[in-house]
Amino acid sequence: MKFTKLLSLCALSMLLNPLAGLAQEEKEIDEFMTFGEPSFFRPYDKKGIHVFETTKGDYDKPYTGRKLNLGAGFTMQFQSLKNENPGALNSGSMEVNALAPLKPGFMTSQANLYIDVQLAEGIRMNLTNYLSSRHHNEFYVKGGYLQVDKIPFIESDLLDNLMRYTTIKVGHMEINYGDAHFRRPDGGHTSYSPFMEGNIMDAFATEMAAEVYLQHNGLFGMIGLSNGMIKGSVDSLAVNTDETDKRNPSVYFKGGIDKQINDITRVRLSGSWYHNSGTNGTGLTMYAGDRTGSNYQNVMEQYYTAAGVAKAGTAMYSSGRFNPNLNGQLDAIMINAFAKVEGFELFGTYEIAKGYAKNEGLTDNEVEARTATQFAIEGIYRFGSYENFFAGLRYNTVQSKLYNYEEKVNVDRFAVGAGWFMTKNIMVKGEYVNQKYSDFKNTDYRHNGKFNGIVLEAAISF
């Protein structure tokens, strides 16, 4: 019996030996935390403009201890836009399809707060907060995540070699679908975007997710899994009235190539796919997941409710955007191309989304998937000694089938803009925009809709 016990203890010791490195004492270098940028990090100022996913370039960078980085984005805007919807029914004063009245003026300033912490070698935490935004004037947490580029608490040459090409990201966070979300304005942080707004069909969502990346020699791939919802829920009692109370997860993939051809030329091509097989609890929020709001304030917004009550300003936050309302089931594919030759820069988007809304098919139990397509192209020229000045053009068009529509509707936007980085942290820019809506029914407030005018912006980021 004693021999058997001894043999068992030896076997257990052999099994646990590879895990002995998990119980390491804190390194002396980690006894104190200092201020500074963490590794594997996208700066919030001008240095972060052409960054997409973080690379593995910091893998061999000497580790100097735990770091705390506080960042922020602050944006002030002046807007002079006009809009109209001639021919729309019930569009008179205080009628249901009346548009929000507009006058030139300043928008409420928006601000973000970023907290990034280097917790250990190759391990970083991010927490992003909206201090003030159009949709939420009050403090609001966007999300946060843990990003792992090294695993220092397990001593293994095999694992070290694997992590040289691997990144793991877990959190309640902005998911990595497509490349357009890397260039869009986000609340008070607008320095990455050369224009006032992102795409008309804004492919943006924050979900509880996990993503695994592989990168090598310019090639990259990613697989992600999320809860498919903007927030969590543990309620198993409530059943939605439309009997769509499932909580199907979303799965999404991304792959592509990003190469610096020579000192002046860089090219990137990527493809992404997002899939959710059925209605997910509170509904999918792709194309409606932004909790800050558009940078075109109150333009082309339905001003009154059906009861004749004026809407609150925080409720009119998606101005100028188009949501195809595919919150019940969704398959979406986005292809992006980016090229930069010296100061000349091109960025393109082609996207196709197919699915349906939660409430469709309730009367006849038949659900027909609808399709929305989007195309966007922008050309930018950056000039000056450090490319501190820029000017550019953008064309963006969306075509979509709406529920109970025979024909597809169209939304087209043309924008021209220019800006100046006075320092890497301070930017001013201006834009002229012209947007038109066509083929909407005359019972829709967007019937024959159009808006145009200028928006000026000053932004600080660090």
User: Which CATH number does the domain housing residue 447 bear?
Assistant: 2.40.160.10
Domain residues for 368? 31-461
State residue 362's pLDDT score.
Answer: 58
Task: Tell me what pLDDT residue 182 has.
Answer: 98
3-state secondary structure of 188: coil
- CA proximity to 374, closest of 402, 349, 341: 349
Q: What is the largest CA-CA distance in the chain?
A: 94
3-state secondary structure of 403: coil
141/428 Cα distance (integer angstroms): 27
Whether 18 maps to a domain, the answer reads: no
Q: What is the pLDDT at residue 343?
A: 96
Q: Give the three-state DSSP class for 266.
A: strand
In a domain, 19, yes or no: no
Assigned domain for 15 exists: no
Instruction: Output the CA–CA distances (angstroms, integers) from residue 434 to 24, 220, 318, 395, 447, in the order listed.
Output: 60, 37, 17, 10, 16
Within a domain: residue 8?
no
Q: How far apart are CA 47 and CA 458, in angstroms?
A: 18
Give me Rg for the CA atoms of the chain: 25
- Whether this prediction's pTM lies above 0.85 is answered by yes
Backbone φ and ψ of 39, nearest 5°: -80, 165
Domain tally, the chain: 1
In angstroms, the CA 192 to CA 174 distance is 16
Look at residue 23 and tell me if it is in a domain.
no
Residues of the chain with pLDDT under 50: 1-23
Task: Report the mean per-residue pLDDT for the chain.
Answer: 90
| DSSP label at residue 298 | T
**Residue 265 within any structural domain of the chain:** yes
Residue 19's pLDDT is: 45
Give the separation between CA 416 and CA 296, rounded to whole angstroms. Answer: 15
**What pLDDT is recorded for position 235?**
65
For residue 412, is it within any domain?
Answer: yes
Under 8 Å between Cβ of 117 and 69 = yes
CA–CA distance, 67 with 119 (Å, rounded to integer): 7
- Backbone torsions φ then ψ of 181, nearest 5 degrees: -70, -15
Separation CA 424–CA 386 (nearest Å): 10
87 vs 283: CA distance, rounded Å: 33
Is 4 domain-assigned?
A: no
Tokens of 262: 């020579």
Residue 107 DSSP class:
P
- What pLDDT is attached to residue 417? 98
200 touches 374 (CB < 8 A): yes
Strands 110-120 and 105-106, by their bridges, are: unpaired
β-strand 66-84 against 110-120: which pairing, if any?
A: antiparallel
Q: How far, in whole angstroms, is CA 309 from its chain's centroid? A: 32
Is the distance from CB of 457 to CB of 428 less than 8 angstroms?
A: yes
